[in-house]
Amino acid sequence: MDAAGATQARVAVVDSPEEIPEENNRLMTRNPLTLFSSALFAAAVLFIPAIIQAQIPGGSSAREIPNEVQKADARVEQIIERANDHFRKGKLNLEDSKREQARDEFDKAVDEILMSGMDVRASQRLQTFYLELVERIYREEVPLVQQTATPVIVQAPANQKSDAVEVAQIQQPRQVGFVQQGFEPSPLDPLSKLILTQSEQQVSETQLADLEQAKNSLDFNFTINPLVQQYINFYQGRGRSTMESGLRKSGRYMKIARETFRRVGVPEDITWLGQVESAWQTRAVSSAAASGLWQFVRSTGAQYNLRQTAWVDERNGIEKPTFASATYLRDLAKRYNGNWLLAMAAYNTGALNVDRAISRAGAADYWKIYPYIAQETRNYVPNILAVILIAKNPAKYGFGGIKPDAPLSFEPITVPSGTSLRLIADAADTSVDYLQSLNPELKRDTTPRGENYTVRVPPGKAKQLASLLKRVPNDNRETARVISVAPGEEWQSIANRTGVSVATLQSMNSGVDLKNATKLFVPNNNIRLTNWRRSATTDSSASSLTKIKAKKGDTIARIAASRNLSADEVARLNGIAPNVQLQAGQEIKLPGAANTAGPKRR
């Protein structure tokens, strides 16, 4: 949220985002000047709407400042007191195993801060409390001690000697807490503080002439400014790793983004705004609580029909927030008569702030309003232009040979209310971690209650999942698990290796013929979960698997790209999401005759 937006207590949600009312312009991004401004400016931000520069009118009286600061401090105290009250109630509910009530109270505790109308960064005390509160809630919801056991391989029945079964760890008792996806820091916060070095600011006439030529390859028009080349210089130097990472990660979402922007009527090259906003992290969160690939704050997300409930936060999704972002940019461009630089500036700092800057500059031109906008927005627009130009011709700027990750691949399938992600992962032969990477908008380890929900599963698994879910009773969808069995295996054999009685197995798998069955349902409570797999002596595909040791900083996506493999396939094989950072020395399995020599030096 921006400085202007932080002063508004309410934001109306409009039926259509085609027009953007003045009072609704609490937009996405945030004014970073409050991170280092004086107490004088912090007080001004809280009580003077749409101030975007640390400038105090000459007529201001210093004697009034302590009163404003005192008012702000009192307001912070009230917010903290209300948030603590909700946290205490949530903890009591959690201790009583009232999970839903606890979750609601924890959500309310966070909302007391985020919906207070205050910029969290404007008060050091509020910012510190907010970060500590999130950590406290996380520790309550996700217990720190998670015991694991080494998988054990046991033999199949006598008539199935060619097979083996992998016995997973024994499940610990059901935890009182919740399983919730983690978050990544948004790159916008460090960007707001970025100061270019003297060498980065050196721009030659030849470079400007090259930029004039290069901009002709873009699908929108703008005026070149030396600042664009300065940010290119930054990415060619100390920002190189950021640019390289963005070029790789963009591959997962760029196909969806380009198709969406094109359909909405936004230049496709502007999809690279996603790199500056989130570094292509679906769960990126800024210090001002903007979230997702396209960094929506709660109010703007709601205005553009992104649901935010106790179960889902669609700002962190994939298709819906991409459509919302494109629609939002299109609306802003209409506001500024097709000027995409002003639209991007307003996307960052808010249309009201851009309007006032235009009024002060006397012209609707980004480079003319530049002195009158926040430092973050000054960094923001030329940064995006630099990223677009590099991405358009990576080799020209020294980024040749970087292979983008494979496009996100999935199948949508609608599942019943309150279906466990663990159950879906078991039935779809994948991991919860990978399933969450395909469904980052889900806040819990189950789909929303009270509605059928469409989840994304690995390609080719939707039909299998649908078939299995038909067999699960409604009251077992949150607790059941799936195990693999060998065709012809006896009930007693399965009971022996799972610790589940024959009677329970038969009641949960009524009508199943074990002679043809490959998967069974079992209760998720202190059992040994199993997965059958072919032995290497009889399965040529298994014997062709190769293993490598991950290096520091490696991800599945990076390893797959360096060996011309599908990131999704390698992720499923290892049960690890493509962009999760691996530990140095971690063993990774690769399919087929993969190139284990690693990437060549560029």
Task: Tell me the catalytic residues.
Answer: 277
Dist. CA 291–CA 544, nearest whole Å: 42
- What contacts 131, CB < 8 A, 6 or more positions away? none
Place of tokens 């080719």: 460
Lookup: tokens for 233: 């210089």
Q: Where are the alpha helices (DSSP H) in 142-279?
A: 188-193, 205-214, 226-236, 240-264, 273-278
Number of C-alpha atoms within 13 angstroms, CB side, residue 317? 21
476-505: burial string, b at 16+ Cβ within 10 Å, e else = bbbbbbbbbbbeebebebbbebbebeeeeb
Q: How far is CA 182 from CA 62, 103, 142, 441, in A?
A: 44, 16, 10, 11
The answer to whether 287 and 190 are in contact (CB under 8 A) is: no
The answer to whether 231 and 382 are in contact (CB under 8 A) is: yes
Sign of the CA dihedral with 408 first, then 409, 412, and 416 last: negative
The answer to whether 215 and 202 are in contact (CB under 8 A) is: no
State phi, psi for 420 to the nearest 5 degrees.
-65, 135
Give, to the nearest 10 degrees, the angle between helix 99-114 and helix 124-141. 160
Dist. CA 491–CA 496, nearest whole Å: 9
- What contacts 424, CB < 8 A, 6 or more positions away? 415, 435, 455, 457, 465
Strand ranges in 494-564 using DSSP code E only, listed in sequence order: 519-523, 528-534, 546-549
Query: At 589, which helix (H) or strand (E)?
Result: strand 587-590
Dist. CA 40–CA 65, nearest whole Å: 6
Long-range contacts of 369-375 (CB under 8 A, 24+ apart): 369/342, 369/345, 372/52, 372/53, 373/52, 373/53, 373/345, 373/349, 374/2, 374/3, 374/31, 374/32, 374/33, 374/52, 374/53, 374/349, 375/32, 375/33, 375/192
DSSP class of residue 291? B
Looking only at the bridges linking them, the beta strands covering 163-170 and 152-155 are antiparallel
Is residue 237 classed exposed, middle or buried when 0-12, 13-18 and 19+ CB atoms within 10 A define those classes? exposed
Query: At 359, which helix (H) or strand (E)?
Result: helix 351-361
Query: At 480, which helix (H) or strand (E)?
Result: strand 480-484
The answer to whether 405 and 249 are in contact (CB under 8 A) is: yes
Q: How far is CA 396 from CA 51, 236, 400, 401, in A?
A: 40, 11, 8, 11
Dist. CA 379–CA 130, nearest whole Å: 27
